[in-house]
Structure 1
Amino acid sequence: MIPPPAQRPVRGTVLSIDRVGYEEAWGLQRALVERRATEHGPDTLVLLEHDAVFTIGRSGREEHWGCDERRLVQSGYPVYRIERGGSITFHGPGQIVGYPILRLASFCPGPKAYVRMLEEVLIRTLAPWGIIGRRIDTWPGVWVGPGEPAKIAAIGVKIQRGVTMHGFALNVTMDLSPFLLVTPCGIERCRVTSMADVLGHDVRMDPVRRRMAEVFGEVFGIEWTEWVTDVTTMRQRWPAQGPVQATREFANESDK
């Protein structure tokens, strides 16, 4: 069940920027979480693209990537172990990644309801393109197809000090071949698809981003009163917080 949006819309900020390196975006999230947790910043939705990269969440197991991260690195892909839920996934150009930075208790009773709300955002985002997204109860994310399902959007979140970070990724028009190197999200025989593959033609990113932000506001009851689209403004106002150190800390922790 999807919680109803707040009766009074919360005011929030959208950061809709183009391509940002994974470490910088990770550090940006940490900075935004700190500001939101201390009531020094608004609820924020970050929408962006990444250069090609694999990330491994807390549920990742070595068999999900062939027991050797070096194989992925040697194939030209950086690999980051991060603090979100879920296993391994791929991010790359042509995929919209969303990082909601929200005070969770203001919007829903807990993480499970939050994931359902994110799924609802993604399902509604796809609808104007005639793509019917659906849920599978045992796996977070959004799937398409009347027969064997294919995953079109992944979800992996972290709640830190009552504030959400990490989020979701929607495959729009992207090279899906890197997913063949791993077991996506730790799901055996998981087929991955994109909006372009479903429709048979490329899909422009900007209309999908706009639709996604609009629907996110509807589902969560947020009125977007500020839009930031310039990466220089983003860096000046929200300098990234220790991304390299965070990478090393979590990598070391995962080896214990």
Structure 2
Amino acid sequence: MNSIDLGLKEYEEVWQLQKELVAQRIENKIPDTLVLVEHPHVITKGRRSKALDVVNPKVPVFEIERGGEVTYHGPGQLVGYPIIYLGQKAGIKDYMRSLEEVLIRTLEHFDIQGVRKEGCTGVWVQDKKIASLGVAVKKWVTYHGFALNVNTDLSYFQMINPCGFDCSVMTSMQTLRHQSFSMDEVKAEVIKKFQKLTLHSSSGIIKV
């Protein structure tokens, strides 16, 4: 799997890049690709978001085609957009579960115990949410993806009801461990875990 590190980049620009990469992946012009980025402050609304989910927007808001509800992106948060051809190897639920596993194993490397929460997407640490997921698929190719709170300023979540929850549910690696983390180290670990990404389906474990 290829990886692209965009550093800090405007949301709309990366959104367009995803669409271009998806088109290229559909035509088999590029291999599976993981885009990693931090965004300036922005709110995105998924297909299940409601008007009341955005409480007090003071930053740009984009309505996009991913699943899920509303979330915030900003500096200190690692956002990943896997452009992966699933074919008919696994369904969306299988894929989402695999993304969660990548993030759980990444957090484990930094001595943080992430878990899944019954009935909810994303990754949790006890009763706090540390990573959000929302994906879209076009002709069996995935885009959009995950947001992992590393050194995120959590006060910005007060502008929204993140994924239908109160903003107080959100946490970050920095908050949990009382220290800042190197974004480059977190990126490297995420890439390493993606190299071992497997999809869990009813027919067994399938390597991407």
TM norm structure 1: 0.75
Q: Please give the alpha-carbon distance, in whole angstroms, between the structure 1 residues aligned to 2:125 and 2:193.
A: 19
Tell me: higher relative CO, structure 1 or 2? Use CA pairs within 8 A at least 6 residues apart: 1
- Quote the RMSD (CA, aligned, Å): 1.3
- Equivalent residue pairs, number: 200
Residues 188-225 of structure 1: CA deviation (Å, up to 9, x unaligned) = 46610000000011111011000000001112346xxx
1:137 Cα deviation (Å)? 2.2
1:100 aligns with 2:82: yes
Instruction: Report SS of the residue matched to 2:49.
Output: coil
Higher helix share: 1
1:41 Cα deviation (Å)? 1.3
In 2, are the aligned partners of 1:133 and 1:142 still within 8 Å (CA)? yes
In 2, are the aligned partners of 1:92 and 1:174 still within 8 Å (CA)? yes
In 1, are the aligned partners of 2:160 and 2:167 still within 8 Å (CA)? no
1:25 aligns with 2:14: yes
Aligned equivalent of 1:39: 28
In 2, are the aligned partners of 1:154 and 1:169 still within 8 Å (CA)? yes
1:187 Cα deviation (Å)? 2.4
1:178 Cα deviation (Å)? 1.1
Aligned equivalent of 1:235: none
1:52 Cα deviation (Å)? 0.5
Q: Which has the larger radius of gyration?
A: 1
Aligned equivalent of 2:191: 213
Aligned equivalent of 2:65: 83
Instruction: Report SS of the residue matched to 2:197.
Output: helix
Letter in 1 for 2:156: P
In 2, are the aligned partners of 1:184 and 1:190 still within 8 Å (CA)? no
In 2, are the aligned partners of 1:133 and 1:143 still within 8 Å (CA)? yes
1:118 Cα deviation (Å)? 0.2
Letter in 1 for 2:49: G
1:137 aligns with 2:118: yes
In 2, are the aligned partners of 1:151 and 1:190 still within 8 Å (CA)? no
1:17 Cα deviation (Å)? 2.3
Letter in 1 for 2:181: V
Aligned equivalent of 2:92: 111
Q: Please give the alpha-carbon distance, in whole angstroms, between the structure 1 residues aligned to 2:166 and 2:149.
A: 19
Q: Please give the alpha-carbon distance, in whole angstroms, between the structure 2 residues aligned to 1:97 and 1:64.
A: 21
Q: Please give the alpha-carbon distance, in whole angstroms, between the structure 2 residues aligned to 1:126 and 1:151.
A: 13
Match of residue 49, structure 2, among 56, 60, 77:
60
1:105 Cα deviation (Å)? 2.3
Letter in 2 for 1:139: C
Give me the identity figure in percent: 44
Instruction: Report SS of the residue matched to 2:90.
Output: coil
Instruction: Report SS of the residue matched to 1:138.
Output: coil
Q: Please give the alpha-carbon distance, in whole angstroms, between the structure 2 residues aligned to 1:102 and 1:190.
A: 33
Match of residue 127, structure 1, among 103, 108, 112:
108
Q: Please give the alpha-carbon distance, in whole angstroms, between the structure 1 residues aligned to 2:159 and 2:166.
A: 13
Aligned equivalent of 1:246: none
Letter in 1 for 2:42: V
TM norm structure 2: 0.92
In 2, are the aligned partners of 1:183 and 1:190 still within 8 Å (CA)? no
In 1, are the aligned partners of 2:40 and 2:73 still within 8 Å (CA)? yes
Q: Please give the alpha-carbon distance, in whole angstroms, between the structure 2 residues aligned to 1:87 and 1:190.
A: 16
Q: Please give the alpha-carbon distance, in whole angstroms, between the structure 1 residues aligned to 2:131 and 2:90.
A: 23
Q: Please give the alpha-carbon distance, in whole angstroms, between the structure 1 residues aligned to 2:45 and 2:160.
A: 11
Aligned equivalent of 2:144: 166
